Amino acid sequence: MIATVTLLVVGPDRLPAFAQQAGKWLGKFRRLINNLQRELKQELLVDEGKTFKRQLNELDDLMKNAPDQDSDFSTKSNRADKESGH
């Protein structure tokens, strides 16, 4: 149907040149879409990396600011290990 309408509108003499030009436009459009997809994926990866880095920094801050609940926990743990033979 599209081919018939194109043939009627463009005419049989100009159809090969029209098809060639349409093919070039289609190629340019596909390259444009592929470039946009690639850029979008890169931006998403960068954004994910930033989010991950921010979360790591927040966790690091929590670990630095977390009070020790039992200051001699490691001493008790080591003593228990020695008594159990580990």
> DSSP assignment, residue 33?
H
Q: Tell me which residue has tokens 């596909």.
A: 30
| CA atoms in the 13 A half-sphere facing the CB of 53 | 6
Angle at 7 between CA 13 and CA 15, to 5 degrees: 40
| CA atoms in the 13 A half-sphere facing the CB of 55 | 6
* pTM to 2 decimal places: 0.51
User: Do the beta carbons of residue 47 and residue 38 sit within 8 Å?
Assistant: no
State pLDDT tens for residues 11-27. Answer: 888 889 989 999 999 99
Q: Which residue has the higher pLDDT, 28 or 44?
A: 28
State pLDDT tens for residues 33-61. Answer: 999 999 999 988 888 888 888 888 888 88
Of the pLDDT bands very low, low, confident and very high (cuts 50, 70, 90), residue 30 is very high
State pLDDT tens for residues 57-86. Answer: 888 888 888 776 555 655 655 666 666 666
